[in-house]
Amino acid sequence: MSAILPAQWPAPPQVRALQTTRLGGVSRGVYAEFNLGTRSGDDLRDVESNRRRLHDVYGVPDAVGWLHQVHGTRVLQVPRSVDSDCADASWTAQPGAVCAVLTADCLPVLLCDADGRCVAAAHAGWRGLCGGVLEQTVAALPAPPSALMAWMGAAIGPQAFEVGPEVRERFIKQDAQAVTAFTAGRGDRWLCDLYALARQRLQRAGVSQIYGGGLCTYSDARNWYSYRRDGDCGRMATLIWIN
């Protein structure tokens, strides 16, 4: 795998979308190599060098709307119309403005409309999914849900993501179909399929075209950072913009 994983979906040609891997940057130690997270504990000079590489090598526009992610459901428009960058999703209809989320096991989800006039990126760990971050992102876009398509990047896979019974109960209380996204694990623990939960949520919100999924950050230490696996680690970025 290379430093960049392009989104595989039938988006309009003016929509550019990708997820970075951990390969190809200058970060060292537990953050090696392509860490893009400024709050990870890495040397900020290395992170800034890696972020410049996004622009200089991979053609990402300079106007990236980096967020301060808090596992919530707030959705911002970029360029930002408010001072705070505290949010877990963003959208834009402005060409050259980049929506971005950082992950290291949580699920990144990209959205665009069929005409390529609006795009969005969402950070969806289990808390965000349960809180409704995908539904909020779909609602924020100036296009009907039926006109949207989604792509899911790499996240911790269902064979590795163990949660307590209270997490399972919260999802099932909201939607009985969520029971299919959990498999019995050790003792009272459950294995959780973030991809399945995201598909269910998107479909309930009216989005039927859903692509991607299936790559596990936890089980592939060569290509992906994983907080569950390593603790201190870097962050991948998932980005989308309109050319």
Report the distance separating Cα 11 and Cα 112, nearest Å: 7
What are the extents of the domains in the chain? 12-157+206-242
Report the distance separating Cα 53 and Cα 70, nearest Å: 26
Neighbours of 221 (CB within 10 A): 13
Report the distance separating Cα 172 and Cα 130, nearest Å: 10
What's the average model confidence in pLDDT over 80-91? 86
Report the distance separating Cα 84 and Cα 196, nearest Å: 32
**Strand, coil or helix: 90:** strand
Q: Give me the residues paired with residue 6 across strands.
A: 18
In the predicted structure, residue 217 carries a pLDDT above the cut 80:
yes
Give the tens place of pLDDT for each residue, 163-197: 999 999 999 999 999 999 999 999 999 999 999 99
Q: Give me the residues paired with residue 242 across strands.
A: 15
CB of 54 within 8 A of CB of 63?
A: no
What's the average model confidence in pLDDT over 33-52? 98
Give the tens place of pLDDT for each residue, 118-148: 999 999 999 999 999 999 999 999 999 999 9
pLDDT at 81: 64
CA angle, residues 140, 72, 213, in degrees to nearest 5: 75
pLDDT at 82: 66
Confidence band, pLDDT 50/70/90 cuts, at residue 80: confident
Report the distance separating Cα 115 and Cα 124, nearest Å: 25
For the record, the structure tokens of 127 come out as: 């808390």
Query: Mean pLDDT for the chain?
Result: 97
Report the distance separating Cα 138 and Cα 225, nearest Å: 27
CATH superfamily of 12-157+206-242: CNF1/YfiH-like putative cysteine hydrolases (3.60.140.10)
